[in-house]
Amino acid sequence: MRGWKPAPHVLLLLPAFVVLAAVVIVPLLLSLYSSFTPFRLTRPETIYEFIGLRNYIRLFADREFWAAFGRTVLLLTVALNVEMVLGLFLALLVEKATRGQRLLRTIMMFPMMFSPILVGFQFKFMFNDNIGLVNNALQSLGLTDQAIPWLIDGKLAFTSILIAEVWSSTSVFAIFILAGLMAMPKEPLEAAKVDGCTPWQSFRYVTWPFIMPFAYIAMTIRSLDIARAYDIVKIMTDGGPAKRTEILWTLISRTAYSDARMGLANAMAYVAILLSILFTVMFFRQLAKARQQIGAEW
């Protein structure tokens, strides 16, 4: 080894590369490889058996997988839209506040500070059909006299999960949109007033185009979040009842650990990642377009 003398900068960066390779690249490659094997945790030697694309081909015919896939996309679509509308509303309200805006902003961020697992438990308790707050409140108010099976009925369970998601993450939208509102120059709004705009028209033609890029950033972040959603669903319903709320990552973890079919689970995971990439690319395109529209310099 004597004649080999790397330049000092290479030498200095080497440890970082080694660590990165060990913790990121190797596991990534390993999992990608294992998606081409019938690897089962219970039979470690199966990892050496190469079966090509068989796992992927199986997935394409797997109704359960596509049901979970579809449910994830549905959850993503509905949650993003609801969060977008609520977040916009919240941001507009907070921006109007002349006093205590700082405090309001902090309060608004509270849900984001909870771990998703905690949010899951909290809503599992609230939606419990016997002792839950929601049924209790509904019954006390006389709105219903029976226990609504929130987490037991498939549709209601999905809605309950949606509510938990929305509660925990609407503030992501609110905060990005609020940032946009606060960064927005005030003069064009005044010009719009003079040009004859009603408050709604000012919003529609001036404010909205300006905050759109900020909304798209929030959408990108949240679409990745929801495409990876796991904790809340795991805690609240664990994919039940009868797999009616099974989403991609609960299915993947079940396949990997309960069924011990690691190879298949990894194949699912890679398909799921494609979904995330798809959404990211889509929202980034929109973001670029919206930014160009307002001539943003960032």
- Cα–Cα distance for residue pair 46/38, rounded to 1 Å: 6
For residue 43, the cross-strand partners are 40
* CB of 194 or CB of 242, closer to other proteins: 194
Q: According to CB under 8 A, which one of 10, 109, 198, 284 is a site residue for other proteins? A: 198
| Residue 241 DSSP SS3 | coil
Least Cβ distance, residue 187 to other proteins (angstroms): 3
With binding defined as CB under 8 A, does residue 193 bind other proteins? Answer: yes
What is the CA 276 to chain-centroid distance, rounded?
A: 9
For residue 40, the cross-strand partners are 43
Q: Are 83 and 221 in contact (CB under 8 A)?
A: no
What is the CA 283 to chain-centroid distance, rounded?
A: 13
- Cα–Cα distance for residue pair 192/181, rounded to 1 Å: 16
Site string for other proteins, 84-123 (x = CB under 8 A): ----------------------------------------
- Cα–Cα distance for residue pair 296/298, rounded to 1 Å: 6
With binding defined as CB under 8 A, does residue 190 bind other proteins? Answer: yes
- Cα–Cα distance for residue pair 87/90, rounded to 1 Å: 5
- Cα–Cα distance for residue pair 15/103, rounded to 1 Å: 44
With binding defined as CB under 8 A, does residue 194 bind other proteins? Answer: yes
Q: According to CB under 8 A, which one of 2, 16, 141, 187 is a site residue for other proteins? A: 187
- Cα–Cα distance for residue pair 290/270, rounded to 1 Å: 30
Q: According to CB under 8 A, which one of 191, 273, 274, 278 is a site residue for other proteins? A: 191
* CB of 6 or CB of 209, closer to other proteins: 209
* CB of 8 or CB of 295, closer to other proteins: 295
With binding defined as CB under 8 A, does residue 141 bind other proteins? Answer: no
Q: According to CB under 8 A, which one of 1, 185, 200, 258 is a site residue for other proteins? A: 185
**DSSP code of 43?**
B
Largest CA distance in the chain: 86
- Cα–Cα distance for residue pair 179/66, rounded to 1 Å: 38
* CB of 141 or CB of 194, closer to other proteins: 194
Mark the segment that binds other proteins (CB under 8 A) among 43-51, 119-127, 206-214, 274-282.
206-214
With binding defined as CB under 8 A, does residue 197 bind other proteins? Answer: yes
Mark the segment that binds other proteins (CB under 8 A) among 47-55, 83-91, 204-212, 253-261.
204-212
In the window 258-297, what residues touch other proteins (CB under 8 A)?
A: 293-295
* CB of 205 or CB of 284, closer to other proteins: 205
Q: Are 55 and 263 in contact (CB under 8 A)?
A: yes
Q: According to CB under 8 A, which one of 49, 64, 195, 259 is a site residue for other proteins? A: 195
Least Cβ distance, residue 18 to other proteins (angstroms): 46
Phi, psi of 43 (to 5 degrees): -130, 80
With binding defined as CB under 8 A, does residue 206 bind other proteins? Answer: yes
**Site residues, other proteins (CB under 8 A):** 185, 187-188, 190-198, 201, 205-206, 209-210, 293-295
